[in-house]
Amino acid sequence: MRALFFAIGALLFIWLFFPSQQDNKREHRTVTDKILHPFDSSVRFRLGDVDPRFGMSQAELIQLCKDAIGIWQQGSEKPLLVYDPKAKLTINLIYDQRQADHKAHKSSQQLLEAAQNMNQRISENLDNRYTYLEQRHQQLQAQRDQLSRDVEQLNQQRMSWMRIENENGPNRQRIEQQYQQLKAQAQQLDHDIAELKDQNNQYNQQVEQHNQNIDSYNINVNHLNQRFPAREFHKGIYNGKRIEIYQFDTMDDLRLTIAHELGHALGLEHNQDPQALMYPVMKDQQLQNFRLSAADLALLQAR
């Protein structure tokens, strides 16, 4: 009987401290957890080290971890993942050059987007201004042509009445009054034309400045692309003992990154669906209200 108890104890010792390679999920469980939940195959994890430079609270991150659990729970009726403050497996947020570069790149992009929007508004204003100046030019041209016709017609009347009346005649007086009116119109037209020329000069200066701004914008875009060339890097990694996350953009992005690495902790590999959670690149996924793809569910069912 003592030999039987010894054999059972030895098997229990081996089961507790030497998990099989086929069941690597048990490596994340503490001895106490194995004793209290011997048939629970869920992956237990907790939040580990978090660099304060990410600017996120423990409560926010724990909620994101629970949201990530919910994503995987779409594909299973039994618990796959459990957030356990005493778990061995930890999720750690490590701030390094990747996140620093991402923040600098994002800040520069926001400045460039603001400059691009400003350039677009200025371009639209300049287009509207050009339309106005062109219409005003045509309007003044029409006024000048009409004034020339009126002057020519009045000259003909004057020549005719000069043969009939002296300078004090009523028609000669009427014609002289009309001359004075045309003269006033001509003076106003000259003033309007001079004003239009000034507006044209201002417009040309604004166009020149706008073109310089566009050139400056293009130079800054090139500098940004040279400083932050397109490259692939791991946003996070699961090394069998811990999850390390190095870079994310938004809360939704971080939620999916956590869920992706937890997928590896579940024993899942990558798939080839660009919109799937287990696709190796986080780019085309629906970040908000994400649901597992058929490719994700297939991996989950095959584990």
Could you read off the pLDDT of 224-241 as tens digits, one per residue?
989 887 666 578 999 988
In this prediction the pTM is 0.65
- Mean residue pLDDT of the chain comes to 86
User: In this structure, is residue 14 part of a structural domain?
Assistant: no
Q: What range does the domain containing 182 cover?
A: 117-227
Question: What's the CATH code of the domain at 292?
Answer: 3.40.390.10
More confident residue, 76 or 206: 206
User: In this structure, is residue 182 part of a structural domain?
Assistant: yes
User: In this structure, is residue 86 part of a structural domain?
Assistant: yes
Contact between 49 and 93 (Cβ < 8 Å) = yes
Give the per-residue pLDDT at 295: 95
- The mean per-residue pLDDT over the stretch 49-72 comes to 96
Residue 224's φ and ψ, nearest 5 degrees, are: -65, -45
Domains: count for the chain: 2
Are 122 and 160 in a shared domain? Answer: yes
Q: How far apart are CA 46 and CA 88, in angstroms?
A: 8
Are 264 and 195 in a shared domain? Answer: no
Could you read off the pLDDT of 156-173 as tens digits, one per residue?
887 776 666 666 777 777
pLDDT bin (cut points 50, 70, 90) of residue 40 is low
Domain ends where: 178, 200, 227?
A: 227
Could you read off the pLDDT of 286-298 as tens digits, one per residue?
888 899 999 999 9
Are 208 and 277 in a shared domain? Answer: no
User: In this structure, is residue 187 part of a structural domain?
Assistant: yes
Give the per-residue pLDDT at 63: 97
Are 150 and 197 in a shared domain? Answer: yes
Domain ends where: 227, 255, 281?
A: 227
